[in-house]
Amino acid sequence: MITINLLPEAYRKPEASSIQQFPRSPLAMLVVGVLAGMWLVLLAVQGIRQAQLARLTARFQQLKPQQTSLDELNASTKTLRDQHAVFQRLDRERSQWASRLNVLSNVTPEGMWFTELSLDQQNTLILNGSAIARGGDEMAYLSRFVQDLKADPGFSSVVKEIQIESIKSVQEGEVELMQFTVVCDLQE
């Protein structure tokens, strides 16, 4: 179809192309309206999610001290369970340990005493003690004690290794003392 416009050029209205007319069409307005509505809905959802995140973060911060307390309680419980297991094992082997401690008492030379006996979680018996210094032969004195422990079959049967961990000379008033630590690695 041909359209003839007989108006002079100056009086003619420029015709808009179909692309220029598109934004004014109802379909275009509907599409823009739907997109704007979806954008507003997404914006509202994002705001709600951010508010929920802020509330949950605040709640998490409130619970953090309780979580720390719970972690400390769990660690204490684990330590107590480990100690309980060690005590149960010691209780089952009570008579054996009584005889081993008796051996320890028997081989301890005069002038030497123990200040602490402890059993750690790595199954190590730690003997801390002191002895009256004997004019420079402290190391030989302590070595003889360790050799006597190793030589006793009742004590050495449960010990993998006995080592002198430390020796320190200490002056207490007019008496010179030797403080020592002996470590006994026990067999499983």
CA angle 112, 116, 119 (to 5 degrees): 125
Q: Are 108 and 98 in contact (CB under 8 A)?
A: no
Distance CA 134, CA 111 (A): 10
Q: Are 108 and 130 in contact (CB under 8 A)?
A: no
Give backbone dihedrals phi and psi of 108, rounded to 5 degrees, phi first: -75, 120
**Which pLDDT value is given to residue 24?**
62
- Percentage of the chain lying above the pLDDT 90 cut: 28
**Which pLDDT value is given to residue 93?**
67
In the predicted model, is pLDDT for residue 109 greater than 80? Answer: yes
Q: pTM, whole model, 2 decimals?
A: 0.50
Give residue-wise pLDDT tens across range 11-35: 777 665 656 555 567 777 788 889 9
Give residue-wise pLDDT tens across range 47-74: 999 999 999 999 999 989 999 999 999 9
Q: Are 30 and 36 in contact (CB under 8 A)?
A: no
For residue 180, count other CB atoms closer than 10 A to its CB: 24
Q: How confident is the model at residue 153 (pLDDT cuts 50, 70, 90)?
A: confident
For residue 184, count other CB atoms closer than 10 A to its CB: 23
Report the length, in residues, of the chain: 188
Q: Which uninterrupted H or E stretch holds 18?
A: helix 18-21
**Which pLDDT value is given to residue 20?**
59
